[in-house]
Structure 1
Amino acid sequence: MLPYLRTLVAAGAAALLLSAPQTAAAAGAELGQPLPRAHAHNDYEHDRPLLDALEHGFTSVEADVWLVDGELRVAHDSWELDGAPTLEEAYLDPLAELVSPNGKQLYPGHDGGLQLLIDLKSEGPATWAAVERELAERRKFITRHRDGRVTERAVEVVISGNRPLADMQAAELRYSSYDGRSTDLDSGLDPSFMPLVSENWTRLFTWQGVGEMPEVERERLHAYVERAHAQGYRVRFWATNDIAGPARENLWTELRASGVDHINTDDLAGLQEFLAGSAG
């Protein structure tokens, strides 16, 4: 090979290696057995965002997103933004490598997809618009909504946090849906627009897993879940006890028994063990 060609080839190979470290990591990921109820709260704080959750079989992951100088950065607090990965680097790029060629499946042989819950931390309308632009570039594997028609793909994006309700309702084409709150029950919002209702557990309940759940709270929980399901909405709570031990297992047992759709945790291995041992 001529010297200048050898230099060009070497430079090109180096550029490829530098441009796609996350792609290489995604390609080596070993997906676990999918667990329909498993939700990774603040997923980006794990050593390998997204990938650790998928290897534990999680079917829902949560990312806090800030719009900074035109880029979507993933971090919990504003002081963590320097050096924080972008939404593309942490989630969209690896998902592009992991989904099936037709964009319709993530876990092989599993009918359900992945819920990507994006919590908008910066100003709602501008941040949501930036998220939509990036999702549109990945339309092959992102569920989309056009004039009331839904085209399902491997990844369903739901917007939480600073949700721009009016902007989302006005959009003729969306690549994301709305995360409701308990006050949105009986609102009449279509489940294709608001598929999920999330709420702070402590806003509705006092029990955190110690001892028996008070019967009045158990009845309230079951009634709440049944009410949401009757309207076509999935249910998730945050601020549940996530400290490993009997109390947490008691709480998870009640959440599962009531039909809560997404059980929130930072402990991937702990929830995987619990759900796998109880048939999910």
Structure 2
Amino acid sequence: MPTSRRRAVSTIAAALVGAVALTERGSADGPARPPQGPAPLRRAHAHNDYLHPRPLHDALAHGFTSVEADVFLVGGDLLVAHEPAHLDPARTLRSLYLDPLLARVREGHGSVHPGHAGTLQLLVDIKADGVAAYRELDRQLRDYRRMLSSCTDGRVRTGAVTPVVSGDRTARLPMETQRRRYAFYDGRLDDLAAPVPASFAPLVSADWRQSFGWRGAGEFPAAEREKLRRLVSTAHTRRQRIRFWATPDTPGPDRDALWTALSDAGVDHLNTDDLAGLEAFLRDRRR
């Protein structure tokens, strides 16, 4: 190759390398763009997320967009555990979720999943002392308000993280009186028949076993399929999302059949403790 041509090729290659470097590091025209990871899975909900080896981080690594943390009010702080016997003062809502999420949002330039828009749902399941626990949750959330969704006088602003309060139903009382909230309410199927706005309860959750007998084996009974379709349609008409807990979670064809039926019906969140299993199922459906 002639010397002049070699120089031209080298110049073009250097320019391309420089362009890539500027994209990764940022330039005078703007901040660096965060690296783009696998597409997040909008239906993936990590039930009992805090029981995984790396709470929050394992779920995010599998592309989950919703995580659940059970909390108890102990000594003025919110401790994360499934039951009182497992309480540990070091495992707080701040240390396991709020602080890591804030760091991730900052690193991801406003996104929990770098390179992808959308909000992460943080489902906070209050196990006891609903009113007092919610007041402490509200106090803590205000320290992180810049990354959180909020509702002011019924108007919703969507942030990188959307806290939703579940569990002890008495938490609803102080929430309903607030002019500005940094958390939302997890409704129940009864709320689909009541005038509960999506700005207050954007999510409706229910125990699958209390409404449906099918567990994934054999054909989905036509009457139950139609009931599921009606519930999803009603929720979506009201601009609410719907989730069922206590669905079968043992790997196998029954679970796959039930997950398929839920997905086909438009259920918004699939509940699981098996992060890798649900990720594989949802990504296979995409393909």
Place the TM-score, normalised by the shorter chain, in its bin: 0.7 to 0.9
CA shift for structure 1 position 33: 2.7
CA shift for structure 1 position 201: 0.2
Letter aligned with residue 120 of structure 1:
I
The answer on whether the counterparts of 1:65 and 1:118 sit within 8 Å (CA) in structure 2 is yes
Partner of 1:53: 59
Partner of 1:201: 208
Greater displacement, 221-230 / 105-114: 105-114
CA shift for structure 1 position 56: 0.1
Partner of 1:162: 168
Partner of 1:278: 285
Partner of 1:63: 69
Partner of 1:126: 132
- CA separation in 2, counterparts of 1:82 and 1:97? 23
Aligned match for 1:36, one of 23, 42, 67: 42
The answer on whether the counterparts of 1:31 and 1:54 sit within 8 Å (CA) in structure 2 is no
The answer on whether the counterparts of 1:64 and 1:118 sit within 8 Å (CA) in structure 2 is yes
Equivalenced residues, count: 252
CA shift for structure 1 position 273: 0.1
* Structure 1 unpaired stretches of 5+: 1-29
Residue deviations 1:29-52 (CA, integer Å, cap 9, x gap): x96430000000000000000000
The answer on whether the counterparts of 2:108 and 2:114 sit within 8 Å (CA) in structure 1 is no
Greater displacement, 112-121 / 161-170: 161-170
TM-score by length of 1: 0.86
SS of residue matched to 1:235: strand
Partner of 1:185: 192
2:86 pairs with 1:92: no
Partner of 2:178: 171
Partner of 1:12: none
CA shift for structure 1 position 103: 6.9
CA root-mean-square deviation: 1.8
Partner of 1:14: none
The answer on whether the counterparts of 1:119 and 1:160 sit within 8 Å (CA) in structure 2 is yes
Letter aligned with residue 175 of structure 1:
Y
Residue deviations 1:176-228 (CA, integer Å, cap 9, x gap): 00000001112111101000000000111000101111111111111110111
**Relative to structure 1, is the Cα distance of residues 232 and 89 closer, same or farther in structure 2, using a 3 angstrom cutoff?**
same
Partner of 1:268: 275
Identity, % of aligned pairs?
Answer: 51
Partner of 2:154: 148
Letter aligned with residue 212 of structure 1:
E
The answer on whether the counterparts of 1:32 and 1:54 sit within 8 Å (CA) in structure 2 is no
SS of residue matched to 2:101: helix
**Relative to structure 1, is the Cα distance of residues 271 and 200 closer, same or farther in structure 2, using a 3 angstrom cutoff?**
same
The answer on whether the counterparts of 2:208 and 2:246 sit within 8 Å (CA) in structure 1 is yes
- CA separation in 1, counterparts of 2:54 and 2:88? 18
Larger radius of gyration: 2
Aligned match for 1:229, one of 216, 225, 236: 236
Partner of 1:108: 114
**Relative to structure 1, is the Cα distance of residues 180 and 99 closer, same or farther in structure 2, using a 3 angstrom cutoff?**
same
* Structure 2 unpaired stretches of 5+: 1-35
The answer on whether the counterparts of 1:75 and 1:84 sit within 8 Å (CA) in structure 2 is no
